[in-house]
């Protein structure tokens, strides 16, 4: 019984840590970049906080060159308990301010 409790705790911690995963800024195509991130709240999280986080990352990336973010597309998926975590995917360009 004790081993089952330990295994459950390790699995829950692993899922929580994986839930924070972000791709960072990735070049996609001809001046277009993407960022994808999963909710740190795991299968109970919403994509709202993740959406804000990836816009912060995109703005930091573009501002390094004095540019601003132009959204090409954004997709947010809500969590489905015990199926998938909440996530968001942003395609963007860096354009002059």
User: In a structure prediction context, what are the per-residue pLDDT tens digits for the chain, which is 97 residues long?
Assistant: 554 344 333 334 344 444 457 899 999 999 999 999 998 776 666 778 899 999 999 999 999 999 999 999 999 998 888 888 889 999 999 999 9
First to last CA, the chain: 60
- Residue environment code for 27-57, b if the CB has 16+ CB neighbours within 10 A, otherwise e: eeeeeebbbbbbbbbbeebebeebbebbbeb
CB count, 10 Å around CB of 93? 17
For the entire predicted model, the pTM comes to 0.73
């Amino acid at each position: 019984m004790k081993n089952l409790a330990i295994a459950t705790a390790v699995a829950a911690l692993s899922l929580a840590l994986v839930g924070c995963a972000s791709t960072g800024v990735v070049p996609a195509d001809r001046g277009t970049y993407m960022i994808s991130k999963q909710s740190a709240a795991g299968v109970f999280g919403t994509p709202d906080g993740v959406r804000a986080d990836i816009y912060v990352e995109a703005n930091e990336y573009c501002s390094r060159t004095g540019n601003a973010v132009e959204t090409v597309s954004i997709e947010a998926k809500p969590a489905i308990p015990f199926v998938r975590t909440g996530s968001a995917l942003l395609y963007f360009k860096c354009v002059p301010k």
